[in-house]
Amino acid sequence: MRGASALLARLDARDRELFRRWAVFSGAARATRMFWLVVTQLGGTICTVSGSMLTLALGGAAADAARRALVILVVSHLVVQLVKRSVGRPRPSRGVGCATLIHEPDRFSFPSGHAAAAMSVAAAYAVAFPHLALVLILAAVLVGMSRVALGVHYPGDVLIGQLIAILTAVPVLLWTGSP
């Protein structure tokens, strides 16, 4: 057990160090702050839910992808919330003492719900439309990076959020017979 605690302590220290290097603080250029503020919205509720539901009306492959995206989104969100409340890792503003550049949605940092949401939707559409996969996955990765840049998550929070989305997507896509 001592070895596991030591490993977790080292991972936490590394995560905090990466956060200090990657986070954009209030002294950053306005354009930099605005870029990350816009990107982070892609992982929010409005963009992920509406991005999934709007294509339902199109029918065909787009509607199938939308249904899969919504299932992956809901299931991964439930897992993220369960883990957040079980682990209870404080956000960087409380753990490192930095100011955030946006409002924190709650007090828990681990894992990132925005990163999970963006990756959930990206994964469903990337499988349905492989020619868009690179752009979709890159956008989801940028959403995750935005959460660190804006000071509301550690890099490990983002990585685990994205992993939860992918691990949710695999069985959903297999179960639904995705292309």
Quick check: is 103 catalytic? Answer: no
Range of the domain at 72: 2-175
User: What SS3 class is residue 96?
Assistant: coil
Catalytic residue, from 77, 103, 131, 153: name it.
153
Does residue 146 have a pLDDT over 80?
Answer: yes
Cβ proximity of 89 and 108 under 8 Å: yes
Instruction: Give the total number of structural domains in the chain.
Output: 1
User: What SS3 class is residue 89?
Assistant: coil
Question: What is the band of 163 on the pLDDT scale with cuts at 50, 70, 90?
Answer: very high
Burial environment of residue 95 by CB neighbours within 10 A (0 to 12, 13 to 18, 19 or more): middle
Query: For 50-73, what is each residue's pLDDT tens digit?
Result: 888 888 888 888 899 999 999 999
Q: Which DSSP symbol is given to 179?
A: -
Q: State how far the Cα of 57 lies from the Cα of 44, in Å rounded to an integer.
A: 22
Query: For 4-39, what is each residue's pLDDT tens digit?
Result: 677 778 888 888 788 877 777 667 778 888 898 899
Quick check: is 131 catalytic? Answer: no
**Enclosing H/E stretch for 160:** helix 155-175
Through-space distance between the first and last CA atoms of the chain, rounded to whole angstroms: 44
User: What SS3 class is residue 108?
Assistant: strand
Q: What is the mean pLDDT of residues 79-91?
A: 91
Question: Tokens representing 72?
Answer: 């992956």
Mean pLDDT over the full length of the chain: 87
Q: 15: domain CATH number? A: 1.20.144.10
Place of tokens 């924190």: 104
Does residue 179 have a pLDDT over 70?
Answer: no
pTM of the full predicted structure? 0.87
pLDDT at 4: 66
Place of tokens 């919330």: 81
pLDDT at 96: 65
